Chains A and B, each alone.
Chain A
Amino acid sequence: MSLLDLLTSLLFDHTIRTVALGTATLGIVSGVLGSFAVLRKQSLLGDALSHAALPGVAIAYMLTGSKSPAVLMLGAGAAGVLAILLLINITRQTRLKEDSVLGIVLSVFFGFGLLLLTFLQRNPDARQAGLNTFLFGQAATLLTRDVITMAIFGGLALLFVVVFWKEFKLLSFDREFGASLGLPMPRIDMLLTTLLVVAVVIGLQAVGVVLMSAMLVAPGAAARQWTNHLGRMTLLSALFGALAGVAGALLSSLGTGLSTGPVIVLCISVIVLFSLVMAPNRGLLWNYLRQWRNRRRLRTEAVLENIYLMSSQHDDPSHPHAITALEAVSGAGNVRRSLEELQRRGLAVPYDGNKWALTAEGVRAAQTRLQPAQKDEK
């Protein structure tokens, strides 16, 4: 299938459009809320929350007998909120570190959910609910009503983010200062964390319990590399999330039989890798180039100083010197390239091939560079 076919089906094929809309919604919502999670160093919270949602799904089904997405999402959300309350309180009341409590909540809730689901599966009707859907996500199973439910929950969550934007920003940057202003920081914290639960719940069906956490961490981590502005970071994160969501859903719908979760996560991981390497200013490549340029500049200046110092042993400050002599003095590095750089700047000129000398301007430049250093020596 060519890219063009893929795009056409995105627009005109009802099923694929539905799936893409669903995964885009989840990408946007988790991108926005994940940005805050990343900035608040709560990247692993999403992992615990998504695993914790499993028993909520099972209990919601047990209680209502309904498989409607809204009911299951509410169940998952309730379990997520319970998990958070346990997390906060156990961490605060005991000497256990947060990571231990995260690990316990994650694994025990998940184990309990597994117990309930396998227990339910003895009932043939429940089997169709498909454990696999919740483990790795199956975007192809998304129906229009699922997408509508996701959009409503997600839209509400985003609305809250818009309304409480400055409070959330303050919470993430300087919680104590916010408290000193008289703002109810614990409640704002609880609200933002609950919204994070909403994002998790929205993603469960498409991405699955196991990999949902990546959807909360990766878009924000990628977006952070491109901008130093919270608003732009959040928007970009939403965009990355949506992009990965749609791409992943389409790739896994190509009849490969792949679960959507891993494909979406792989897509967003590629975006992260690209951002870490390529992003201007922060990116690794950028940093490497900056270091390289700095080194070259320093080397060029060292060569300039060395020619000057060597010729100051002669009467004529623009006495030419052989490259080999300069190499001996300047040590490692490409001396010829530094000399060519100096020539471009009009500071040095070549003499019959292998010798170089400073121009009058070069002498002045070397003198100004060396002056403070010579003063220091005295």
Chain B
Amino acid sequence: MDETKLAVQVADLTVAYQEKPVLWDVDLDVPQGVLMAIVGPNGAGKTTMLKAILGLLTPAAGHVSIFGKPYQQQRSLVGYVPQRGSVDWDFPTSVLDVVMMGNYGKLGWVRRPGAADRRAAQSALEKVGMADYADRQISQLSGGQQQRTFLARALMQDAQVYFMDEPFQGVDATTERAIVDLLKELRAQGKTVLAVHHDLQTVPEYFDWVMLLNVRRIASGPVKEVFTDENLRAAYGGRVGFLNKRQDP
């Protein structure tokens, strides 16, 4: 595959916590402009993989490149949506303020966000249907609104590749639709999205590429080719029977 067309390229990524492997030698090529879900059972290392790609934890081996260059040089092309539960939502700040944090990396030291950043944040909020909530204190948000705030913050990063950790976790129907629309819009703009996802049922509907992960990579590629019973069984082991039952009631 032509390397310049690859938005994300992960090679031989191995991560260990206290010398116990969490990810074993994972390779992954993600072409530009796809929506890719990372799925796998609990403890499969999905979040770990995302964090290792983003340099939030140090891998034991392997390397990551974004558009053919090492991740460290391409940071400005990357946006990140962490798990909603990873922060304290009682923090004294407003929605707009959180969204503007997306720009802190580009602002550089000492400089404060200005009117232009404010406008950009406002328009990011509009894209996720949260325009009216800009001045709302974040503790007053519902789970879905929190998630959309985080998405708006990632949009503020104006990235080429977005990494999202469980964006659909525990959100309401409105938010779910808003996220799906947003993903499609991002794809239309040629952006790439990698999202950790937990609901197998919605994978074919929301995503066009998928990676099955269980400590090592089981398979990755277009949903139609990869999302097969055989691969799912390989990823989920004995539990896949239960999953099938749950899938078609």
Contact = CB atoms under 8 A, between A and B. Distances in A.
- A and B in contact, CB less than 8 Å: yes
B78 A230 contact: no
B242 interface: no
Contacts of B112: 165-166
Nearest to A230: B92
A257 interface: no
B92 A39 contact: yes
Interface string B51-87: 1001110000000000000001001001010100011
Nearest first, the 7 closest Cβ-Cβ pairs linking A and B are: A181-B105, A228-B137, A180-B80, A182-B75, A180-B54, A174-B87, A228-B92
A233 B98 CA distance: 16
A178 interface: yes
A95 to B, nearest CB: 11
A169 B94 CA distance: 12
Nearest to A173: B91
B82 A176 contact: yes
Interface of A: 39, 163-167, 169-170, 172-174, 176-183, 224, 227-230, 233
Contacts of A163: 109-110
A248 B137 CA distance: 34
B87 A173 contact: yes
Given A170-B101, A174-B87, 16 more contacts: A165-B112, A166-B104, A167-B104, A169-B93, A169-B101, A173-B88, A174-B86, A174-B101, A176-B86, A178-B104, A179-B56, A180-B55, A180-B80, A183-B104, A183-B105, A230-B97
Given A180-B78, A182-B75, A227 B92 contact: yes
Contacts of B93: 169, 173, 228-230
A269 to B, nearest CB: 21
Given A224-B92, A228-B92, A228-B94, A174 B113 contact: no
Given A165-B112, A166-B113, A228-B137, A181 B104 contact: yes
Interface in B97-133: 97-98, 101, 104-105, 107, 109-110, 112-113
Contacts of A183: 104-105
Given A166-B104, A183-B105, A229-B92, A177 B139 contact: no
Contacts of B72: 182
A39 B91 contact: yes
B92 A174 contact: no
Contacts of B137: 228
A227 B139 CA distance: 12
B79 to A, nearest CB: 9
A293 to B, nearest CB: 19
A230 B137 CA distance: 11
B117 to A, nearest CB: 11
B59 to A, nearest CB: 15
B139 to A, nearest CB: 7
A177 B91 contact: no
The secondary structure that dominates the A interface is helix
A54 to B, nearest CB: 32
A172 B87 CA distance: 9
Nearest to A227: B92
Contact of B55 (A39, A165, A172, A179): A179
Nearest to A223: B92
B228 to A, nearest CB: 33
Contacts of B153: 177
Contacts of A177: 80, 82, 101, 153
Contacts of A178: 104
A345 B110 CA distance: 56
B110 A174 contact: no
A176 B157 CA distance: 15
Contacts of A181: 75, 104-105, 157
Contacts of A230: 91-93, 97
A65 to B, nearest CB: 41
B190 to A, nearest CB: 22
B49 to A, nearest CB: 14
A39 B92 CA distance: 9
Given A177-B82, A224-B92, A182 B105 contact: yes
A137 B98 CA distance: 40
Contacts of B101: 166, 169-170, 173-174, 177
Contacts of A182: 72, 75, 105
Contacts of A39: 88, 91-92
A228 B153 CA distance: 19
Contacts of B51: 176
Contacts of A180: 54-56, 78, 80, 82
A176 B139 CA distance: 20
B22 to A, nearest CB: 17
A179 B94 CA distance: 21
